[in-house]
Structure 1
Amino acid sequence: MKFNLLPYILVTIFSSCQNTQETEQIFKSSFSESKETTHKIPEEQNYTFGYLEVLENRQNPNGKTIEIPVYIFKSRSDNPNKDPILYTVGGPGYTSMRASKYMEYYKYLDDRDLILFEQRGTQFAKPSLDCPEWAKAVYHSNLPNFDSTKNDSLFQNAAKKCNERLRKNGIDLNRYTTNQIAADINDLINVLGIEKYNLATMSYSTKIGQVLIRDYPDKIRSVVMDSPLPLEVNYDEESVKNILESLEVILNDCKADADCNNAYPNIKTRFLKYLEEKTINPLLVQIENPINGNLETFYLKGKDLITVFTSANTGSVSNIPFEIKKLLDNDLSSVKERLKYVFQEPKKGIGQGMRLSVWCAEENPFNSQEKITLETNKYPAVMGLSPAVFKNEVCNIWNVKKVSKIENEAIKSDIPILLISGEYDNETPVKWAESMANNLTNSFHLVFRGWKHGPTTNWTNQCAMQAANDFFNNPSIKPNPECFAEIQSPIFKIEDK
């Protein structure tokens, strides 16, 4: 079911935008409705679906265009507020469109329309920068008989093949960056004739939000940044440190809990020592290959076994001390269950090319390779665990232009902003949001106790989304929903007696 786009003005316009690293150009952008959607939407949900058409290269007004899918979901309110929310997810390289099927759970629609925006280069955009070559490399590198000395050449070759194929298809890989996505969003807002709007962002898309705040602030009423990734942070230089710091927080909480501490005494020291031992003498694990029935042997080091923490989500954090204890007792049942997924067929590498373009243009150029090497070898418990998303050699092969220095600098703003963090988030830790708040003079920060990455997407407890919606309704006040006060540290699972 659709709804009339008024009061949005659906016209083709000529808009001019100032990009921070490219010369101002005038270009044509438009939005066209489409009957064919990316997903089947429940009949009771009113919406419009269509494509935003923009230039791939804003420096070339006569160049090729790309198409970006957009949903506009109508509010459940009979008298909604006129300032809609625009939502786009993290990544980079992840699709926003999957959320379209679940709008009944989005509290934002109680008060406003919600625009669901796909980032250029991702799954349902045209083109989508997919890299099945990379997905196959991931698959082969995880197999038990893979020669790890060939790991670098495997991924370099995958990057080379994908890069060559995408360029041969006429794709300008230099144009798939955060500031281009922000310009796309600004175009959409102008095309739809929206006077004021709110931003809901999460993880990587908080970088898009920061660029919008910096470059196109005039129409932004308020912003929610869930699990923020600051522009100025060099992710690749500290991600291992962040894992260990977040692990320490949760194991300290176990120690402070009498029942957990009695069940798992001195668990932090024991676990780190265990990981260090396995790094020197890897854990041998044998499982039956679910595809052919053969017995397969894995040798797991500390950097592999730390996934007992990193792979847990908010809903399973209460089990982490229990799962660690199983490892310490040589109960490998959970490890074997996770290893079965290694034999699943390779994925399609959807959006991987976009991820490579963003990372190799915006993160890698500002990295200190010396710091990355030190971080890789600094911690005995996870020795050899690289903090880098992509190795420098892979980015050299991907060969995209470095973005301007401003893309690695903190923004300053007095726009109302709500920062949301999960206490145990090792991907975008609490300290990053705390640091950002120093430059955001009209911001609030909520830390959800016992939660991990992406609190607003925790479907078992929608308190963070409620807080975000409360903020959108009144951005001058720090939200304090009743549910927030009720959140306590997790009740840790105690092993059965």
Structure 2
Amino acid sequence: MYTRPSPRSRRTRGPRPRTTARFTATLLTATALLVSACSSGASTTTAGGTVEAALAALPHSTPSALASYYDQRLRWRDCGVPGFQCATMKAPLDYANPDAGTIRLAVARKKATGKSRPIGSLLVNPGGPGGSAIGYLQDYAGLGYPAEVRARYDMVAMDPRGVARSEPVQCLNGRQMDTYTETDLTPDDQRERNAVVTAQQTFAESCGTHSARLLRHVSTVEAARDMDILRAVLGDRRLNYVGASYGTLLGATYAGLFPGRVGRMVLDGAMDPSLDSRTLNQDQTAGFETAFAAFAKDCVRHTDCPLGGKGTTPAQVGDHLRAFFRQLDAHPIPAGEPEGRKLGEALATNGVIASMYDEGSWGRLREALTSAMKEHDGSGLLSLSDLYYERDASGHYSNLMMANAAVNCLDLPPAFNGPEQVEKALPAFGKASPVFGPGLAWASLNCAYWPVRATGEPRRIEARGAAPIVVVGTVRDPATPYRWARSLAGQLSSARLLTYDGDGHTAYGRGSSCIDAAIDAYLLRGTPPAAGKRCS
């Protein structure tokens, strides 16, 4: 889930305005299947050798204890953004104990623009975990989705529990976040190793102090159950949904829990819920190496590429970049900031990783690297890193990274329980990515000190009885490797895999007319793409 030189929490995020996919945090998100809600018999052995069960569907009938939530009426009001309405929905804080209190969830919609009767609501989620679905709807989906889709659907978004407008998880303040994001995640000695541990402990303790009520109740399973309440209060018999990146895990989890209520569902940039945290993180590390190799091949074709002077193969370009990172580790450079911030190895690596999500940003990355390497001006890479972390010019961060960690650390047991385990795994991560592996391995330590134990575990999701589900995978996706899409499509009993032979994170709305036409046809007419369909 959302991935940086030192992203600190697994996470994945889908596209923003048409081409920029944004992520944050270390590695990607994982499954959050509450044991109390998801017991099942069918077990299997995964490629990694672990045995896990399939997520079991919940009873079809609504429990009487939840009736008041399913029967509530939303009071729509003006959002302050032309064309959009907002409301607040209530859900139980704890589904195992619905009388223990409620959580207030923010919802937004843009009514269908066509004159004919709408197909229904289309819920969208851009990923994360931690990405604001309402921000995504208002900034992009509500205006940027194809006109035909917007004409036939009420476009709807709900910020998941703990995210943005829905009782957000809070941890560090802006100044503390600056310190955290600058932590050196490629420690060279015991003092620097201790600093990594201290940074992760401080972050976790702060979340426990400021968000104690929420931390046990922000799992993906709980968020998926919230989606079913929203479906009901919107008056839809089935849930129509487009989820990107982590949003695919959220959608697949919904399908596993409520297979009979699945409508037209698109899972773009798919995750594999059957994998444990360490495997997810290592797979994503390899994904970023694949994306970097594509960037390197493209970079050396341009005269302004600052990485091609000492060789033109991806490995040689990577060696050149690593040497630059080592220089920054020893001597950070000015970043053109009035507040005196400097660009060190951690922020520079994050700026590069951020640019791997969308090949449209490669030109900007070349410019930023040129400024940093030849002019000792780190402002370009720092800007890319700040965008990734959702840090504004005043030093304020959104709660993206905080929610990201809270969901990930509840969804799956930690990838590593301490620095000794990280050190043993460094060779494997380094093999997966010589450029990013060590930093991403240390970033995967983030859940080791979390104040709340994980409630989820790896699970296959079969969703037997669900309507056709379209799973979309991009061959050189950096954050959700293509193999995950194949795996999820193999798990879901009704899945159709749609492949994009291209670069970047996710595929829908990113320039492939073939992908867009296939998904639009499915959303508008219910016709899934042909089995094995491949686009470029």
TM-score range, shorter chain: 0.7 to 0.9
> Is the 1:100–1:116 Cα contact (8 Å) retained in structure 2?
yes
For the pair 1:173 / 2:218, whether they are aligned, the reply is no
Deviations 1:121-152, CA, capped at 9 Å, x for gaps: 11111x2212234x543302455999955343
Deviation at 1:73, TM superposition (A): 2.7
Equivalences for 1:34-183 in 2 at 5 Å? 34=75, 36-37=77-78, 39-42=79-82, 45=83, 48-102=85-139, 103-107=142-146, 108-125=149-166, 127-133=167-173, 135-142=174-181, 148=192, 150-167=195-212, 171-183=213-225
Partner residue of 2:374?
Answer: 331
Equivalences for 1:196-211 in 2 at 5 Å? 196-211=238-253
The 1:348/1:106 distance shift into structure 2, 3 A limit, reads same
> Is the 1:86–1:198 Cα contact (8 Å) retained in structure 2?
yes
Partner residue of 1:314?
Answer: 358
Rounded to whole Å, the distance in 2 between the matches of 1:138 and 1:201 is 28
Deviations 1:242-277, CA, capped at 9 Å, x for gaps: 21122224445678x89999x967241321221344
Rounded to whole Å, the distance in 2 between the matches of 1:297 and 1:88 is 34
Deviation at 1:364, TM superposition (A): 3.4
Rounded to whole Å, the distance in 1 between the matches of 2:350 and 2:135 is 29
For the pair 1:430 / 2:482, whether they are aligned, the reply is yes
1:337 alignment partner, SS class: helix
Rounded to whole Å, the distance in 2 between the matches of 1:94 and 1:269 is 33
Rounded to whole Å, the distance in 2 between the matches of 1:372 and 1:80 is 56
Rounded to whole Å, the distance in 1 between the matches of 2:153 and 2:342 is 54
Deviation at 1:69, TM superposition (A): 1.8
**Could you tell which deviates more after superposition, 369-378 or 178-187?**
369-378
Deviations 1:83-105, CA, capped at 9 Å, x for gaps: 43222231112211113434232
Deviation at 1:176, TM superposition (A): 1.0
For the pair 1:33 / 2:74, whether they are aligned, the reply is yes
Rounded to whole Å, the distance in 2 between the matches of 1:325 and 1:350 is 28
Rounded to whole Å, the distance in 2 between the matches of 1:164 and 1:297 is 30
Read off the aligned partner of 2:160 and give its amino acid letter: Q
Rounded to whole Å, the distance in 2 between the matches of 1:297 and 1:66 is 40
Deviation at 1:330, TM superposition (A): 4.2
For the pair 1:275 / 2:316, whether they are aligned, the reply is no
Q: Which runs of 5+ in 2 are unaligned?
A: 1-35, 40-55, 186-190
Deviation at 1:203, TM superposition (A): 0.9
2:123 alignment partner, SS class: strand
Task: Pick one of 391, 396, 415 that aligns with 2:445.
Answer: 391
The 1:409/1:317 distance shift into structure 2, 3 A limit, reads same
Rounded to whole Å, the distance in 2 between the matches of 1:401 and 1:153 is 21
Percent of matched pairs sharing the same residue: 15
Read off the aligned partner of 2:459 and give its amino acid letter: N
Task: Pick one of 318, 343, 362 that aligns with 2:411.
Answer: 362
Deviation at 1:289, TM superposition (A): 4.9
Rounded to whole Å, the distance in 1 between the matches of 2:136 and 2:335 is 36
Task: Pick one of 478, 483, 487 that aligns with 2:529.
Answer: 478
Deviation at 1:157, TM superposition (A): 1.7
Partner residue of 1:439?
Answer: 491
For the pair 1:226 / 2:268, whether they are aligned, the reply is yes
The 1:232/1:249 distance shift into structure 2, 3 A limit, reads farther
Structure possessing the higher radius of gyration over alpha carbons: 1
* Normalised TM-score (structure 1): 0.75
Rounded to whole Å, the distance in 2 between the matches of 1:145 and 1:211 is 35
> Is the 2:245–2:506 Cα contact (8 Å) retained in structure 1?
yes
Deviation at 1:216, TM superposition (A): 0.3
The 1:158/1:377 distance shift into structure 2, 3 A limit, reads same
The 1:377/1:50 distance shift into structure 2, 3 A limit, reads same
Partner residue of 2:337?
Answer: 290
The 1:79/1:377 distance shift into structure 2, 3 A limit, reads same
Rounded to whole Å, the distance in 2 between the matches of 1:207 and 1:306 is 24
Rounded to whole Å, the distance in 2 between the matches of 1:298 and 1:397 is 28
> Is the 1:49–1:69 Cα contact (8 Å) retained in structure 2?
yes
Deviations 1:17-66, CA, capped at 9 Å, x for gaps: x93269985223054434555x4232xx3x65322211101222321111
> Is the 1:246–1:429 Cα contact (8 Å) retained in structure 2?
no
> Is the 1:247–1:424 Cα contact (8 Å) retained in structure 2?
no
Read off the aligned partner of 2:74 and give its amino acid letter: E
The 1:136/1:448 distance shift into structure 2, 3 A limit, reads farther
The 1:109/1:152 distance shift into structure 2, 3 A limit, reads same
Read off the aligned partner of 1:270 and give its amino acid letter: Q
Rounded to whole Å, the distance in 1 between the matches of 2:325 and 2:110 is 51
Higher relative CO (Cα under 8 Å, sequence separation at least 6) belongs to 2
Q: Which runs of 5+ in 1 are unaligned?
A: 1-17, 488-497
* Normalised TM-score (structure 2): 0.70
Rounded to whole Å, the distance in 1 between the matches of 2:153 and 2:325 is 52
> Is the 1:225–1:418 Cα contact (8 Å) retained in structure 2?
yes
Rounded to whole Å, the distance in 2 between the matches of 1:104 and 1:383 is 38
Deviation at 1:309, TM superposition (A): 5.3
The 1:363/1:462 distance shift into structure 2, 3 A limit, reads farther
Partner residue of 1:9?
Answer: none
Partner residue of 1:409?
Answer: 460
Rounded to whole Å, the distance in 2 between the matches of 1:88 and 1:381 is 31
2:113 alignment partner, SS class: coil
The 1:332/1:479 distance shift into structure 2, 3 A limit, reads farther
Task: Pick one of 235, 245, 258 that aligns with 2:290.
Answer: 245
The 1:98/1:145 distance shift into structure 2, 3 A limit, reads closer
> Is the 1:362–1:408 Cα contact (8 Å) retained in structure 2?
no
Partner residue of 1:19?
Answer: 37
Rounded to whole Å, the distance in 1 between the matches of 2:127 and 2:252 is 13
